[in-house]
Structure 1
Amino acid sequence: MSYVRRIVRTPVGELFTIERPAGFTTWHIKKLFQKPEDYKALMFMVKDQRVEPNYEPYAKAEREFGEDAIFRAALGATPLHEIMISWMGVETFAVEWAERRDEIEKLYQAMVEKRREVYPIVAQSPALHSNYGGNETGSVMGRERFEKYVLPNYLEAAEVMHQHGKFVGAHLDGLNKVWAEIVAKSNLDYVEAFTPAPDSDMSMADAFRAWPGKLLWIHFPSSVQLARHEVIAETARQIIRASAPDHRLVIGITENIPEDRWQQNLLTISRVINEEGVYPLR
């Protein structure tokens, strides 16, 4: 069993992570933040970052793939989500939020300022659209924190992206009912990885009703991937019909499909799209 240790050395302290690779994923054994003294090193790390454009790899990939693929940029995680999930973990974050919220908020603000350097670089890139953050779920981030610490970042990023004719969305694949109207207030162009019921607390109809004018770039529900192909086909059919008469919809898959099912499942979904996804929708 192999482990990977990464060390960040700063003039005000040393940080490290320990990870264990596990196939297509990674187990995070030790997070970057481990004790209150680590705030100083994290703050230095954030402020010391340099943000520079590097457009050529993206342009090269587009040239090589041509019309066989559409590429998307990424603005990274929203600041509080990165602190909570990537650097602390939920349990440690809960303790720190209760005992040293002022330290988290200072770190959050430094990250917001650094993200502002990223927005124009992505907006001026060859990419036509970019995701910003995601993997939020109501039971963890909570409505109040989402509105205060996530929404303002969406608003700022989208304003810059729109100035350059670019689109921005978020990977909201969790429980979204608690903040559905907050997402509606945002200027996000699309909601990516939205997963309809039965795998979440919102149906396709709920989402289209809550977010008029936003494109839904959905994740086909994982629970259905193990069903009979007739059920998979009917689920795809109902998803498409829910978008009638003129809602915007992209059907995607953002999670793993069982190895023995992916070929036939994708063929089934594609067949229904070809049959039902003809405008105007019936």
Structure 2
Amino acid sequence: MTPRERVHIAVSGGRADKIPFTVYSNKISYSDVERKLRNNGMCIIERVLSYSVVYPDIDIKTIVYDENGRHYRKTIYRTPVGELSSLVEVDDKTTWVHEYLFKSKEDYKALFFLIKNAVAVPNYKYIADFQDMRGEDYLIRDHISYEPLNYIAIQCMGLETFSYEWMDNRDEIMKLYNAQVEFSRTVYPIIADGPLKTVNYGGNYMPAFFGGKDYNKYFAPHYAEAAEILHKKGKLLGSHYDDNIKPVIYEVADSALDYIEAYDVGLNLSVSETRKIIKNKALWLNFPCAWHLESPEEIYKRTVELIKQAGNGEGFLIGITEDVPMDRWKQNYTAILNAINENS
């Protein structure tokens, strides 16, 4: 059984010949250890889009520059009703937003135009070629943009600005929200007709910010709508939940998601406790970040305990979705994979 086959079986709720171990492609470096890990069963996860987004009536300009040894990217959107811009600092492993698109209430018209003008275009050939270049120790996963309300909060405004606008100009936010809902609905069938079997919808849900009531109102319905379309074409839908989701765990259990990805038992309930509540979904862990500071021997023991708590191992995966200290990934990934190969 190949690493990719193991992942497909597990996210479908089944039990592969052993527990899958997955690593995001940007959380590992090419090396002899990386090659050995893949030979021993590790699966690398590549996250892509089977569509591109174009804005036919907007002039877009990107400026890339360095300042004090730091790399920045400024993007300017010139719409017929106003100009928007964002400023992002880019690093090898991550990005930091210095300026969001939305800066004041004067930006509502331009932001609304931007969202309404977005057009999703299938990009199947790129995905097919990309997948052909990877072997069976890679899984290529599709992605739907942030959930509509999350998109506005995280992508367009930032949480602080969103909070003020939610209280002061909620009607305007809802116009943006409804426009983003319309755009998302054009993406679902494109992904459903695409070549990839697993799809993440948004992610980074923050229970402390949105709460359970908003989850059922603004998040779960979109999962259900997307899942209905994707399931008809044999696709599986998940989301990247790397936060403490204990406040909404019953709502998550009732959602239409097929799998919960990036689940961190260092923040949440244990695997065995979670299994008692979330019974009908695959549980795709992120090996807890704090545990990477332990010795390889302790990491091995903790991995074995995770496997034991997973019971029969159906619908269970262990992954690396967050940053790991660069001087530890080789020994830690090796310890995790050894524990899986020897105990599952």
TM-score normalised by length of structure 1? 0.94
Whether 1:9 and 2:87 are equivalent positions in the alignment is no
Whether 1:25 and 2:88 are equivalent positions in the alignment is no
Task: Report how many aligned residue pairs link the two structures.
Answer: 275
C-alpha root-mean-square deviation of aligned residues, in Å?
Answer: 1.2
- Tell me by how many angstroms 1:246 deviates: 4.8
Match of 1:227 in 2: 294
Whether 1:153 and 2:213 are equivalent positions in the alignment is no
Match of 1:104 in 2: 173
- Tell me by how many angstroms 1:144 deviates: 1.7
Match of 1:191 in 2: 260
The separation in 1 between residues aligned to 2:320 and 2:216, in whole angstroms, is: 28
User: How big is each residue's C-alpha offset from its partner over 1:71-106, in whole Å with a ceiling of 9 and x where there is no partner?
Assistant: 100011111111101111111011001101111111
- Tell me by how many angstroms 1:170 deviates: 0.4
Asked if 1 retains the 8 angstrom alpha-carbon contact of 2:84 and 2:102, the reply is yes
Q: Which has the higher contact order (CA 8 A, sep 6+)?
A: 2
Asked if 2 retains the 8 angstrom alpha-carbon contact of 1:213 and 1:247, the reply is no
Whether 1:275 and 2:342 are equivalent positions in the alignment is yes
Match of 2:273 in 1: 206
The separation in 1 between residues aligned to 2:249 and 2:288, in whole angstroms, is: 19
State the secondary structure of the residue aligned to 2:250.
helix
Matches within 5 A, 1:148-187: 148-187=217-256
Match of 2:322 in 1: 255
The separation in 2 between residues aligned to 1:263 and 1:81, in whole angstroms, is: 35
Whether 1:239 and 2:306 are equivalent positions in the alignment is yes
Asked if 2 retains the 8 angstrom alpha-carbon contact of 1:208 and 1:247, the reply is no
Give unmatched runs, 5+ long, in structure 2. 1-66
Asked if 1 retains the 8 angstrom alpha-carbon contact of 2:141 and 2:196, the reply is yes
The separation in 2 between residues aligned to 1:21 and 1:128, in whole angstroms, is: 30
State the secondary structure of the residue aligned to 1:125.
coil
Q: Of 193, 203, 213, which aligns to 1:144? A: 213
User: How big is each residue's C-alpha offset from its partner over 1:152-172, in whole Å with a ceiling of 9 and x where there is no partner?
Assistant: 111101110001111010001
Asked if 2 retains the 8 angstrom alpha-carbon contact of 1:16 and 1:31, the reply is yes
Q: Of 18, 41, 49, which aligns to 2:110? A: 41
Structure-2 change in CA distance of 1:246 and 1:224 (3 Å): closer
Asked if 2 retains the 8 angstrom alpha-carbon contact of 1:75 and 1:118, the reply is yes
Match of 2:12 in 1: none
Asked if 2 retains the 8 angstrom alpha-carbon contact of 1:72 and 1:129, the reply is yes
Give unmatched runs, 5+ long, in structure 1. 278-282
Asked if 1 retains the 8 angstrom alpha-carbon contact of 2:220 and 2:256, the reply is no
Q: Which region of structure 1 is more displaced relative to structure 2, 117-126 or 242-251?
A: 242-251
The separation in 2 between residues aligned to 1:8 and 1:205, in whole angstroms, is: 48
Paired residue type of 1:119: Y
User: How big is each residue's C-alpha offset from its partner over 1:169-227, in whole Å with a ceiling of 9 and x where there is no partner?
Assistant: 00011011111111111111100111112xx1322122211210211111000101011
- Tell me by how many angstroms 1:20 deviates: 2.1
Paired residue type of 2:201: Y
Paired residue type of 1:173: D
Match of 1:280 in 2: none
Q: Which has the higher strand share?
A: 2
Paired residue type of 2:239: A
Match of 1:126 in 2: 195
The separation in 2 between residues aligned to 1:103 and 1:133, in whole angstroms, is: 22
Paired residue type of 2:227: A
State the secondary structure of the residue aligned to 1:114.
helix
Q: Of 76, 80, 86, which aligns to 2:149? A: 80
